[in-house]
Amino acid sequence: MSDRSVHVVISGMVQGVGYRAWVAQLADSYELSGWVRNRLTGEVEAVFSGPSEVVAEMIAECRKGPPGSEVTSVSVQDNKHSSGTPFEVLETV
């Protein structure tokens, strides 16, 4: 199983619904490294690093979102650098 790191941007009704906390909890349960934060544009941005299959599962979950959210799109780009740190929630940018 190879490792993969991705940068994702999630759009829709994803702020004010606990999306960041949900992502952080799920990423921790999947033992992924990376981070998540809100953007002033109303999107949520994250980096997920770990086994390819687990990263793919995390992306699929992000497309669904937690209860109360309404995801309209998830943009995924490969990230050249793995974060290698425990998953964390960052400040809004």
Instruction: Give catalytic residue positions.
Output: 20, 38
DSSP 37-67: EE-TTS-EEEEEEEEHHHHHHHHHHHHH-ST
DSSP 82: -
Residue 63: phi and psi, rounded to 5, are -65, -30
Tokens of 83: 């974060």
The residue among 76, 43, 47, 49 whose CA lies nearest residue 60 is 76
